[in-house]
Amino acid sequence: MARLGLERTVVDTAVYENTIARFKEAGVLLPTIGQLKDPSTIPASIREKLKDVSPDSPHPLNLFRVHWFNDGARTGLTDVPEHIELPPALTGVKARIVLALGNRFPMINAHKVLAAYGCLVPRLVTGQFDPTKHRAVWPSTGNYCRGGVAISRILGCRGTAVLPENMSKERFDWLDKWVSDPSDIVRTPGSESNVKEIYDTCAELDRDPANIIFNQFCEFGNYLVHRNCTGAALETLFKSLTQGKPGAKLAAYVSASGSGGTLAAGDHLKEKFGARIVAVEAAECPTLLNNGFGEHNIQGIGDKHVPYIHNVMNTDMIAAVSDQHSDQLMVLFNTPEGRKYLVERRGVDAALVERLSNFGLSSLCNMLAAIKTARYYGLGEDDVIITVATDGAAMYGSEIDKAIRRYFGGRFDAVNAGECWGQSLAATTTDHLLELTHIERQRIFNLGYFTWVEQQGVSLEDFTARAKQSFWDGLQELVPAWDAMIAEFNARTGVKA
């Protein structure tokens, strides 16, 4: 239970006291999950002090920016999460497709810092992580390890990023600047699809008791922080989008599988609005779709296993997107030739085209899956599909160069732009989609057995308990318990708001 973040009492008093002493010395105050869910409840004194804090610094107060309501400059608050609504001129469908912008989060310009905090804070307030002795290990295929390293810097402890060696150059450049020691960047074999290699490396690191593994794929803090914070933020967004439109419907929530954390927002949105939950993966590695395998370049979405915190039995559809299309759209949206084509030949608003740099590779994957979903269900003007842009193009400059060499012979011109539009956007169809029956849900759920029971040592009883929605709803009781423990922890440190 401790490994999966399910404790609600102090496990080790000595560790707890050491952590309190460190936080008192470092002036670290922990936000509650409730405050990150609704940042207007953050004390006014903290919000005032934040005005003088750079959102890109390892400052303790930046923990209070780990939410969806930062403005474009990431220095102030908005009433509604920053987002982009895509017009039919771009998507080719009548449904309203809206992406919440993850690059508004502090330090890493990606929403995965929220997952890192969700995994860490239960360990802190239950005495399972001692920043004076332990090293935090953050396994990732994308941005989660950057979020973990950033928070580790704030706590004054070592944070180790474990990620595939073939991830984007920009990720490693960022890590080089933030880790305290070069050995805290651990490159595992392969690319985005090689999750098991990450697990194997973490198993080796876990033999050292000084290392604490924060495995986002099985930490329920990741699930809960997204179900509560991301879910509530997207609820606010939907209500804002549909104000004065009584016929509007939240038809679907779309999210790449990844660790399964961001998908948890779908549980909230289905409970509130009856939204379908669409899980997305790469067509080159269709694990959920048909038990498939392979390699791909949609960085940050993970594959070849079923995350432990993915509520499979509440998922309605699997959509697969080719990395060729996300790679090519990254070029189309982020080059002068591509943007000129969109404006002059396709009539897309120039102001919107300038904002497309807010979409990274997994964001484009989510966008394409949303279009597929709209086409499959024949959705119309009153239907809204919400998804997330997990990060922006800033993390993929080197990948744009690679894609131009790989797909366009080293140069990208107006003809290439037209081909890219036709092949990777206009031609988006309902291929690689699977609407899940109960039997299909069971098949995907059972596939997780081989990772979690046979390889990772989870008990069969704990594994099968996750098949019932009551299990996931019951986890919600942890949030108020943790928030009460955070408040008590803060009171013990004596750090003032």
Q: What percent of the chain has pLDDT over 90?
A: 88
- pLDDT value for 351: 97
Task: Report, as an integer, the average pLDDT of 460-479.
Answer: 97
pLDDT, tens digit (0-9, with 9 covering 90-100), for 404-454:
999 999 999 999 999 999 999 999 999 999 999 999 999 999 999 999 999
Higher-confidence position of 68 and 168? 68
| Tens-digit pLDDT profile for residues 374-409 | 999 999 999 999 999 999 999 999 999 999 999 999
**Which residues, at least 6 apart from 229, have a Cβ–Cβ distance to it below 8 Å?**
33, 36, 37, 67, 68, 114, 118
Residue 102 — very low, low, confident or very high, per pLDDT cuts 50/70/90?
very high
- On average, the pLDDT of the chain sits at 94
Question: 193: pLDDT confidence band, cut at 50, 70 and 90?
Answer: low
Q: Is the pLDDT of residue 1 over 60?
A: no
CB 251 within 8 A of CB 37: no
Helix 13-26 × helix 144-155 angle, to 10°: 80
Closest CA to 452 of 310, 330, 250, 336: 310
The answer to whether residues 320 and 286 touch, using CB atoms and an 8 Å cutoff, is: yes
pTM for this entry:
0.96
Supply the DSSP symbol for 32. Answer: P
Burial of 52 (0-12, 13-18, 19+ CB in 10 A): exposed
Distance CA(215)–CA(5), nearest Å, equals: 10
**For residue 216, which of 3, 37, 65 has the smallest C-alpha distance?**
3
pLDDT at 30: 97
